[in-house]
Chain A
Amino acid sequence: MSTYRGVHDIGGLPGGEIVPSEHDYALWEKRVDALMVILSRKNLLTVDELRRNIESLGADAYDKMGYYERWIYAITQTLIQRGVISIDELGGRIAQVQARTDDAN
């Protein structure tokens, strides 16, 4: 039987050395986490939608993106899917945020 395996479904695949690394989470990461909890509580997102969006990242993105980068990607995808924010608003605001930083530099 040919099979399909999600990029995230990695139990039992070859893996390398486990580096017992940890880091104190940056504020932006904690805010991403907080956003997930808040949106979940308000029934604007489920952890299942979050996971599904993360799982649909390609293997390359899944491996290369940081943990909370994948989360903010998935949270935002969910908000777009749910119609809470529009792509237009999102694009505009990201550009504005980036411009603010450029101005400040």
Chain B
Amino acid sequence: MRVREAYPIGHVRTPFYVRGKSGVIERLCGTYPNPEELAYARPGLPAQPLYRVRFLQCDVWNGYQGGRSDTVDVEIYQHWLLSQ
């Protein structure tokens, strides 16, 4: 899955460092109301699927100093993910 490359203002829980990066779904965590909406005291429904996405560190960071298999796991809402 690839993380959308978008940079809106507002309460976003997809960290800057994974935007545009590709990883694999490690698990579906469940469905949850959308925090981007909850942040404005709106209900954030319908609940969105939330995934744990696993990225290889060397795919995320230029010049990553560590193991080639080292990973970073991030929870990302479905609307931030594109299949690829």
Contacts and interface: CB of A to CB of B under 8 A. Distances in A.
Q: Are A and B genuine complex partners?
A: yes
Interface of A: 1-6, 9, 11-12, 46, 48-49, 51-52, 55, 78, 81-82
Given A48-B11, A49-B39, 6 more contacts: A1-B7, A2-B7, A4-B7, A11-B17, A52-B10, A81-B41
A55 B39 CA distance: 11
Interface in B5-23: 5, 7-12, 15-17, 19
Contacts of B41: 46, 49, 78, 81-82
B35 interface: yes
A48 B8 contact: no
B39 A48 contact: yes
Nearest to A44: B41
Contacts of A12: 16-17, 61
A5 B10 CA distance: 10
A6 B39 contact: no
Contacts of A46: 38-39, 41
12 contacts: A1-B7, A2-B7, A4-B8, A4-B9, A6-B12, A11-B17, A12-B61, A48-B39, A49-B39, A51-B35, A52-B11, A52-B40
Contact of B16 (A1, A9, A51): A9
B53 to A, nearest CB: 14
Given A12-B61, A81-B41, A3 B7 contact: yes
Contacts of B40: 49, 52
Nearest to B10: A52
A1 B15 contact: no
